[in-house]
Amino acid sequence: MRHVKIAIEHWPVAGEFRIAKSSLKEITVVTTIIKEDDHMGRGECRPYMKYGESAQSVVAQIKNVQTQIENGLNINELQNLLPSGAARNAVDCALWDLKAKKSGNTISQLLGLPAPLPRLTAFTLSIDSPRNMQKAALNAKAYPLLKIKIGGPEGLISCLAVMEARPDAQLIIDANEALSPSDIAGFQAALKDMPVIMIEQPLSRDHFASIPNTPKALPIFCADESLHVATDLERLWEAGYRAVNVKLDKCGGLTEGLELMRAAKAKGFIIMAGCMVGTSLAMAPMMMLESYADYIDLDGALLLAKDRRDGIIYEGAYVHPASRALWG
């Protein structure tokens, strides 16, 4: 017989983390622990208000299926029991962790994937004045790949300021839905010859009509808030997106994350393995899928004031796979 424990946890952010339309000094996560005999599996999720989630709603979703989990629910059955989103992510990852601990195999062995390797991760600069973002970029000189958060068309000034301070760095510009269709041309004209890998989610998640999709249009555009599951990919490709940011809290766990990455790769998308701000327990499952990712953006634990015991090791700009003491 299994036992399920669900907890709401609060973790302080290092300073303040600002993106378009919101700022954070603390994050709230929900953890699920599944115990069976002498083994324990754990999963963490970050409920996201913009997707209609709260810590309380996620806990309620998990409690609604708690009896099934305790009676032996398996990973495949879970996919039809809960919708994509944070709640399913926490349970899915806990079940995978439990399966690994019970079998003595690693997650990569269970999935038939290569053992994960350390990868270069992007490091995120939150919204601030151009001068302060320049300083932040210089302080992050260990990171050759920077993600710059912007809150509107004025963010282009900050992007140019960061590039002036860090000509050695490549950039991902993340608008978090803060641009309008009329802003797109200005960004492309200013950045087409710059070391900008992509512009992430420039438009509202429901806006699919104004992404330039000519073959040589640079920088390319990356879908984040517009992408949740594999069935979203066709519409995104037709809209002009050529990269996707896969996050387990959006798609609903490691199981769907793997299927989504495989489908995105087959379609021709550039894939970024992303995360919400969270502890190492939330970063660990996505590292199992690093072999599918062209870029890694798993700095969520670095943005916290403290992390979990046995947290993921960050060595310079590289993020390492989790120890089995943490997950998997």
| Model confidence pLDDT, tens digit, residues 234-250 | 999 999 999 999 999 99
Q: What average pLDDT does range 22-35 have in this prediction?
A: 94
Q: Which domains does the chain have, with CATH numbers?
A: 2-109 (3.30.390.10), 119-319 (3.20.20.120)
Q: What average pLDDT does range 159-183 have in this prediction?
A: 96
Q: Quick one: tokens of 184?
A: 């797109």
**Residue 208: what pLDDT?**
79
Which spans in the chain are helix H? 55-64, 66-70, 75-81, 86-103, 107-111, 130-139, 155-165, 181-191, 233-239, 248-251, 254-267, 280-287
Asked whether 294 and 265 are in contact (CB, 8 A), the reply is no
Give 36's contacts (C-beta < 8 A, 6+ positions apart).
1, 2, 3, 98, 102
Measured distance CA(209)–CA(236) in Å, rounded: 10
Task: Give pTM, 2 decimals.
Answer: 0.95
Q: Rounded mean pLDDT of the chain? A: 95
Q: Which of 192, 143, 138, 150 is nearest to 297 (CA)?
A: 143
Is the pLDDT at 55 greater than 80? The verdict is: yes
More reliable by pLDDT, 135 or 50: 135
Is the pLDDT at 327 greater than 80? The verdict is: yes
**Residue 24: what pLDDT?**
86
Is the pLDDT at 323 greater than 90? The verdict is: yes
Active site residues: 149, 247
| 3-class DSSP state of 46 | coil
Measured distance CA(69)–CA(4) in Å, rounded: 8
State how beta strands 22-36 and 39-45 pair: antiparallel
Asked whether 121 and 57 are in contact (CB, 8 A), the reply is no
- Where does the pLDDT of residue 63 fall: very low under 50, low under 70, confident under 90, or very high at 90 and above? very high
Asked whether 95 and 256 are in contact (CB, 8 A), the reply is no
Is the pLDDT at 180 greater than 90? The verdict is: yes
Q: Residue 219: is the preceding peptide bond cis (ω within 30°)?
A: yes
Is the pLDDT at 213 greater than 80? The verdict is: no
**Residue 215: what pLDDT?**
66
More reliable by pLDDT, 18 or 165: 165
